[in-house]
Structure 1
Amino acid sequence: MKKSILFVLSVLFAIAASAQNPSIFNASLESVTVYRASAELNHKINVNLPAGSSEIILGNIANTIDQNSIQLAAPANVTILSTTFVKDYLKTENKSLAYIKVEDSLNLAKRELNGIHNKKSVDENLLVLLDKNQTVGGVNSGLSVAELIKMADYYKTKQLELRNSIYGYQVLETKQQTKINKLQQQLNELSADKSGTRGQLLLQIMTKEATAAVFNLSYLSPSASWVPFYDLRAENLTAPLKIVYKANVVQYTGIDWKKVKLSLSTGSPSQNGTAPILSTWFLRFGEAYNVGNQMMQNRIQSLESRAPMKAKETMEIAYVPDRNLATQNNNALNTSFDLDIPYDILSNSKAHSVTLNTYNQPVNYKYYSVPRLENDAFLLAELTDYEKLNLLPGDANIIFENTYVGKSVINPNATTDTLNLSMGRDKKIVIKREKVAEQSGTKLLGSSKKQTFTYEIRLRNGKSEAVNLLLKDQYPVSTDKSIEVELISADGANVNTETGVLTWKLTLKPGVTQKVRMSYAVKYPKDQSIANL
C-alpha cells in the first residue's frame, strides 16, 4: 500500500515538475540580412509538442530584438497563444579550444601567484616572530659572552635570509601578476560573446495531439550593422580605376553566426516610413533667430579635355565586375548584396571585412590644388555615371602605382553627373604660393585706407609626362557697402564673382616651372579694421 502511494506521488511530482519547467528548443540560425543599423535574423527550430496546452522556450536567439518585428511561422495544427521575449543570463558559453587553453593557463597562473603570496606571508610572520625574541639575550643575564655572540650571529643570519627571501617573493609576485594581466587581456580578445547573454522566446502553445513541428522565426535586432569602405587602385594615369567595394560587418547579438547565408542591404527598416504632411505655417512675433552666414560652396570643376579612350574599350570594361563575390539586387527603394559563400561572424563587436564586388572603371585623371590652403597637388579621378555602381558614402584606401598613399572619402550623394574621387597627394608636383612684397602695400586716401595684395604661385612638374592641373585661389567678397573689393589681375583665370574663386586650367610640361599671379585691392574706412583680411 505504501509503495503504491509513493509511486502515485512520484508520478504526480514528475508531472508537476514538467508543467513548471517548459521544454527548451534551441534555434538554428539559417540566414541573416544586415541593414545599415540593424539585422534580420532567420531561424529554424525543430520542436516536439505534447497534446493540449503547453509552454516551450525557443533558445539561442539574439539578446536584443525589436519585439514588434517578431514573425513566427508554425504548422496549421499548432496554435500560438502568446510570445514573450526574455533574456538568458545563465547560458553556458560555447568556448573555443583557444579560449579553453588560455583560460586554463590563466587559472594555473593565479594558483601559482597564490602559492607565492602564501610563502611570502610565512616568511614575513617568521621575521615578526624573530624581531619579538631579540630581547632574550638581555633578560637572561646568565648567558656568557660566547653564547651572546652565537645568538647575535644566528639572528643576523636568519634575518638576512628571511628578508632576501621576502624580496625574492615580491619580485616573483610582480612577474606573475604581469603574466596574469596579459593572459586576461588575451582571454578578453578570445571571448566570443562579451555581452554574456542570449535571448529566449517563451511560447504558449495549443495542439490537439502530440506532434513534431518545425517553426520558422524571424525578427530584427539592433545589435548588428555594416558600413561600406573601398579600395581605390590605379596602376598609372592611363589605366582604368579599380574600385573594390567592401563592407565592415559588426554584430554583438550574443550568438555567433556560423556558416550563415549573409546578405547586406542599404535599406533601413527601423527608419520611419511615413511620408511627411505639411501643416499650416503660422507667423508670430518673437526674438530673432540668427542662422548665421550661409557659406557658398565651390565645386571642383571638370576639365574639358578627357583621357583618350575608345568607345569599344569603354563598353567592354564599364560597370562589369572584375571579381563578383556577391549577387547585387536592385529595387526601387534599396540595393542588397547576397554573399555567394557562407560566412562566420562572431558576436564580439569587431569589424569583419567582407568583399562585395570589384569594378574596373574608365576615369579621367586630373590634378587639383588650392595653395592658399595647402601647397600640394591632389590627384583626382573623374567618374561618370557612378549611380550605376550603387556606391554609399564611406572611407577609401588609396593604392596608386602599387603603393599605399593614404585614405580618402567617397561621397556619392552629389548632384553633379561627375564624381571626383581623391587619390591622394603627389609630391612630384611642387607648388608654392608667396606674397609679392613690391606689388603689395597700404595707402591712405582721405578717410579711407586701401590695401593691395599680390600673390605669385609657382608650379613645377617633376614627373616624366605632362599633367593637367586645376588650380584654384580666391579673393575676398564684401558684404558691407563701406568695404570695396577690386580684382586687379587674374592672369587669365576663370573668375566667379559671387564666390571670389579664381580657377586656372593648366597643362604642366615635365621639368618646367610655370607661374601665375593674382592681385586685388580692398578699400575701407581708415578708422576701421578687418580681422580676417
Structure 2
Amino acid sequence: MKRTLTYLLPPMILLIPSLAIANSNHTVDVPVKSVLVYPSAAQLNYEAEVDIEAGESVVVFTNLSPFIIENTINVSTSGAGVEIISVSERINFLDSGPRNKNGMQSLRDSIGAVENRFERISIRITSYEAERAILFKGESIGGVGNGVSVDEIKRASDFFQERHFELSQKIYNLEKKRERLAGRSLDYKRQMTQVNTVKGRKTSEVRITVKCDRKTSSPFELSYLTNKGGWAPMYDLKYNGVDEDMNFIFRANVFNATGYDWNQVRIQLSTANPTIGFGIPSFDGSQSQTRPNQDGEVEFQTVEVFNAIVEYKISHVYNIASNSKPHLVDVERHTMPSSFRYLVIPKVDPFGFLMAKIPNWNGYNLIPGTTNVYNNGTYMGRTFLDTYAENDTLEVFLGKDKTVQAVRNEENKVKKSPLVGNYYSDASRVSIQVKNNGSAAFDITVMDQVPIMDDLDKTKFNLNGISDALYDKEEGLLTWNISLAPGAQSDVEFKFDIKAPIHMYNSGSQYRRKFRVMQAPKF
C-alpha cells in the first residue's frame, strides 16, 4: 500500500552540518524527474529507490530548490513495511548546490585572463606616456646640473618627432585594445550574473524519518511547489488561402528560476492556480490573488480565463536552464475550419482587412495570450488574443493586404447664399469603387460614415441611395455586404444634403461631422 505524507511545518535553517537523529541517514541526490508547470508556479517531482535498514532511519533528499513554497511538500513510498514518521525541510547555507559550477568557473577564469591582459596593457601605456613626456621638455634631460638643453640637440629633432609620433600611435592602439578588453570583461560579468540567478549560496533539503521492521528497498516519490517557475501561451495563427483551413500552433514560453536546471524532464502544463490556499474554493474565484513580482526577474500580467482548468501533456522531453529566460515548448497543433471575409473602410484606408471566423472555438480550451499572425507566409504582426468567444465563434483580424482595394471620392458643395429663408445648404455625393485583386472569390464588408445630426428640429438631413446598406443613425455608419469574384469590381454611391440655420452655420455648431485624422509634415 502506498503511504503519503504532506509536509505542514515551517522550514528550519541549517547553519551547521546535521547530526544523525536516527540509526542511519540515506542521502538522495537525484535530478528532477518531471515538472508540472502552472502559470505562476511549478511542481517539481523526484523519484528514487532507497535501501532502508531495519528500525528507524532518515532519508535526506538534497540539492533541492531553496524556493520551496511552505506546506506544499508531498512524500510517498510504496515499500513493504516502510512507514513514514515525519517530514521536515530546511535551508542548507553550507552547500551551494550544482548551480552550473563548471560554467561559473569557466566565466571566472575568462574574467581573470581578461583582467590580466588589461593590467599588462595599462603598464605599457604608462611606460610609453612617461617616455613621451620627456621628449620635448624645455629642461635638462641629463640631470639638473649636467643636462643637455633642447637648443643643443636640434640635430636630433627629427628623431624626437618621429619617436613622439610612434609612441602616440602605440598608446592609441593600446587604449583601443584596453577598451575592448573592458567591454569583454563586462560581458563576462553580465553572463555570470545570468547564470547565478539564484540569490545567495543556499539549497534546500527534505528529511524523511521512516521506520521499517526489516531491511528492504523502497521507492520514494517527492514533490513540492515553487513560485520560481511558470508559463505563458504563445500562439501562431497562419492563413494559407481562402480554400484552406487555418493552421493554429500552440506553444508555451516556460521559465525556470529555481536554481537548478531541468535536464531531460517531462513537462506538463496546467491552467490552474495551486497557490490559492487551503480554504474551500468558490466559483466566483474570490480566493484568487495575483502573485506580486518581488524580485523583478519575471513580469506577470492578469488575464481573465473563462474556461475550465486544463492540463496539457508535452510529448517531448526538454532541457530548461535556470536563468529566468523564456524557453519555447511545443504544445499542440490544430487545423481549424474557418470562413474568411474582408473589411474595407475606404474613408480610413484603401486596403482591405482580412478577417477570419473560427467556429467551435471554446472547445479548444485555450487561455488568452500573445499571437503571431501570418498571411500566406508573410508575418503580419503580433496581437493579444482574447480566447473567449460569446457565441463560440472567434473573429480575428489577420492584417491588411492588397487583395481587396477601394477608391473613395466625395464631392461636396456648400452654397453660401440662402436657398430657402435663413438656411445654408451643404450637399455631398460619395462614390466608392471596390475591387477584388485576388484569385478567389471573397465576401466583403464595406463601411462608410455620414454626419451625425444633433438638432434634427433645427436642421434638415436627407440621405439617398442606401437601399442596399445597413444604416446606424446613432453612429452615422453605413455598411454594405457584397461578394466579388476574382478581378471583379463593385460600385457604391450615395448622396446626402444638410440644411442648417445661418446662425448655426456661422457659429460652427450647425452639425457634427466626423472627419478622418492623419499625420502630415509641417514645413
TM-score where L is the length of structure 1: 0.70
Distance 1:154 1:413, change over 3 A: same
Aligned length: 461
Deviation per residue, 1:362-411 (Å, 9 max, x gap): 22121112334333212222211112222332333333334434444432
Residue 65 to residue 514, structure 1, CA distance change in 2 (3 Å): same
Question: After alignment, is 498-507 or 266-275 more displaced?
Answer: 266-275
Question: 1:348: which partner in 2?
Answer: 323
Change over 3 Å in CA distance of 1:179–1:476 after alignment to 2? farther
CA deviations 1:4-47 (Å, max 9, x no partner) are xxxxxxxxxxxx97639999754531111112222222234677
The structure 2 residue matched to 1:33, chosen from 29, 33, 36, is: 36
Q: Given that residues 353 and 400 in structure 2 are in contact (C-alpha distance below 8 angstroms), is that contact kept between their aligned partners in structure 1?
A: yes
CA drift at 1:227: 1.9
The one-character-per-residue Cα deviations of 1:239-272 (angstroms, maximum 9, x if unpaired) are 2222222222222222111111101112223357
Cα gap change, 1:366/1:275 in structure 2, threshold over 3 Å: closer, same or farther? closer
Picking from 453, 456, 472, the partner of 1:496 is 472
Give yes or no for contact 1:367–1:380 (8 Å, CA) kept in 2.
yes
The 5 A counterparts of 1:31-180 are 31-44=34-47, 58-73=61-76, 77-80=83-86, 82-84=88-90, 90-91=96-97, 93-95=99-101, 104-126=109-131, 134-135=139-140, 140=145, 149=152, 157=159, 161=163, 164-165=166-167, 167-180=169-182
Question: Helix, strand or coil for the counterpart of 2:445?
Answer: strand
Going from structure 1 to structure 2, the CA distance change for 1:497 and 1:132 (only over 3 Å counts) comes to: closer
Cα offsets for 1:113-146 (capped at 9, x unmatched): 21111122233345567788933679648x999x
Instruction: State the match for 1:232 in structure 2.
Output: 237
Please say if residues 192 and 256 of structure 1, whose CA atoms lie closer than 8 Å, have aligned partners that are also in contact: no
Q: In the TM superposition, what is the alpha-carbon distance from 1:274 to its structure 2 partner?
A: 3.4
C-alpha contact 1:397 1:407 (8 A) present in aligned 2: yes
CA deviation map 1:437-465 (0-9, x unaligned): 24x67887878877655543332222234
Question: Structure 1 residues 139, 188: CA separation in 2 closer, same or farther (over 3 Å shift)?
Answer: closer
Residue 90 of structure 1 and its aligned partner are, at CA, apart by: 4.2
- Aligned to 2:126, what secondary structure does the other structure show? helix
- Confirm whether residue 216 of structure 1 aligns to residue 221 of structure 2: yes
Write out aligned runs for 1:217-366 (5 A).
217-271=222-276, 273-275=281-283, 333-366=308-341
Change in CA separation of 1:158 and 1:108 when aligned onto 2, cut-off 3 Å: farther
The residue number in structure 2 matching 1:185 is 187
> What CA distance in whole angstroms lies between the structure 2 residues aligned with 1:441 and 1:56?
96
Q: How does 1:349-498 map to 2 (within 5 A)?
A: 349-438=324-413, 454-475=429-450, 486=461, 488-489=463-464, 490=466, 492-498=468-474
In structure 2, the partner of 1:19 is 19
Q: Residue 99 of structure 2 contacts residue 259 of structure 2 at CA under 8 Å; is this kept in 1?
A: no
CA 419–483 in structure 1, closer or farther in 2 if over 3 Å, else same: farther
Which residue type is aligned with residue 339 of structure 1?
Answer: I
For the 8 Å contact 2:415–2:424, the answer to whether it is kept is no
- Inter-CA distance 25–200: structure 2 relative to 1 (3 Å threshold): farther
Equivalent residue, structure 2, for 1:505: 481
1:516 Cα offset (Å): 1.8
- Name the residue aligned to 2:13: none
SS in 2 for 1:340: strand
**1:400, 1:230 → 2: CA distance?**
14
Query: Larger deviation: 206-215 or 469-478?
Result: 206-215
The whole-number CA distance in structure 2 between the counterparts of 1:437 and 1:403 is: 40
Shift of 1:350: 2.1
Instruction: Give how far 1:80 is off.
Output: 2.5
Distance 1:217 1:479 in 2: 71
Q: CA deviation at 1:53?
A: 9.8
Contact 2:343 2:446 in 1 (8 A): yes
Deviation at 1:505, TM superposition (A): 0.7
Deviation sequence 1:304-351 (CA, Å, 0-9, x none): xxxxxxxxxxxxxxxxxxxxxxxxxxxx83111111221111122222
Question: 1:77 offset after TM fit, Å?
Answer: 3.7
Deviations 1:197-229 (A, max 9, x none): 576335566566898876533222222222222
Distance 1:49 1:442 in 2: 103
The runs of 5 or more residues in structure 2 that have no matched partner are 1-15, 287-306, 515-523
CA distance in 1, matches of 2:462, 2:378: 43
CA contact 1:382–1:419 (8 Å) conserved in 2: yes
Question: Residues of 2 paired with 1:165 and 1:474: CA distance?
Answer: 76
3-state DSSP of counterpart to 1:270: coil
In 2, the alpha carbon distance for the partners of 1:233 and 1:136 equals 80
C-alpha distance in 2 between matches for 1:277 and 1:245: 26
CA separation of 1:206 and 1:467: change in aligned 2, threshold 3 A: closer
1:3 corresponding residue in structure 2: none
Greater share of helix = 1
Change (3 A) 1:159 1:71: farther
RMSD: 4.5
Deviations 1:160-216 (A, max 9, x none): 646743651342232243245246436745854433557633556656689887653
CA distance in 2, matches of 1:224, 1:18: 29
| Kept in 2: contact 1:123–1:165 (CA 8 A) | yes
Q: Measure, in 2, the Cα distance between the counterparts of 1:27 and 1:487.
A: 81
Distance 2:140 2:163 in 1: 20
Distance 1:478 1:31, change over 3 A: farther
